[in-house]
């Protein structure tokens, strides 16, 4: 049996989110054994092979496992050997990171290009145009709005973006190749 690494724990967390507790348990066993057949997993969990196959196919649909298959030349029996797809996790992180960066970039541009007004009771935070339309009064409690200095937030978002956009080899996606 193999020890579970930090990357494996992260992969299992994604598996739990995408495939539920059953997917988590099956993937954990596959990780520990390095490679498993559906029959081995069926024996380990004491359930019918078709139940395990449904869970594995869910994991495979979500790119959490890959497989290799062998064919017994005498019986033409096909056996699938399943293993964890650690490359998926790297791609998943790359994809999530890109989405977060894009969201931060949009927020940075929005904050930089707008003036904001806030309510002293913290009811609302609105743009200059909306504050003008509301007569510079809070639409919730009717208090007078005051101009907000968002320069520190703009500076912070700018620093986050500049640090995140520095090239780094560990943030490149891994090619998706499956062995069949």
Domains (range + CATH), the chain: 6-84 (1.10.10.10), 95-165 (no CATH)
Q: pLDDT in tens for each of the 180 residues of the chain?
A: 677 777 788 888 888 888 889 989 999 999 999 999 989 999 999 999 899 999 999 899 888 899 999 999 999 999 999 999 888 767 777 787 888 899 999 999 999 999 999 999 999 999 999 999 999 999 999 999 999 999 999 999 998 888 877 655 554 544 544 444
Q: Let me know: does 65 contact 30? Beta carbons within 8 Å.
A: yes
* Torsion angle (degrees, nearest 10) of CA 149, 159, 100, 31: -140
Within its chain, how far is the Cα of 178 from the centroid?
21
What pLDDT score does 168 carry? 54
What pLDDT score does 169 carry? 52
Decide: pTM greater than 0.75.
no
**What does the alpha-carbon distance between residue 165 and residue 99 come to, in Å, rounded to a whole number?**
13
**What does the alpha-carbon distance between residue 26 and residue 28 come to, in Å, rounded to a whole number?**
5
Q: Let me know: does 128 contact 115? Beta carbons within 8 Å.
A: yes
Longest dimension (CA), the chain: 85
What pLDDT score does 136 carry? 95
Which residues fall within 8 angstroms of residue 94, CB to CB, at 6 or more apart? 171, 172, 173
- Looking up tokens 């620093």 gives 159
């Amino acid at each position: 049996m193999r020890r579970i690494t930090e990357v494996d724990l992260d992969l299992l967390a994604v598996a739990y989110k995408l495939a539920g507790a059953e997917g988590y348990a099956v993937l954990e066993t596959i990780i520990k054994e390095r490679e498993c057949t559906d029959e081995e997993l069926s024996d380990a969990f004491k359930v019918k092979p078709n139940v395990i196959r449904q869970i594995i196919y869910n994991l495979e649909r979500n790119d959490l496992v890959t497989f290799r298959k062998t064919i017994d030349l005498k019986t033409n029996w096909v056996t699938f050997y399943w293993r964890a797809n650690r490359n998926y996790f790297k791609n998943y992180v790359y994809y999530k990171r890109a989405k977060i960066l894009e969201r931060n970039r949009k927020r940075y541009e929005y904050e930089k290009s707008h003036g904001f007004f806030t309510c002293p009771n913290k009811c609302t935070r609105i743009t200059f145009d909306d504050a003008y339309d509301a007569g510079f009064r809070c639409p919730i409690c009717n208090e007078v709005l005051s101009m907000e200095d968002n320069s520190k937030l703009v500076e912070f978002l700018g620093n986050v973006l500049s640090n995140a956009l520095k090239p780094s080899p560990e943030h490149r996606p891994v090619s998706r190749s499956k062995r069949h």
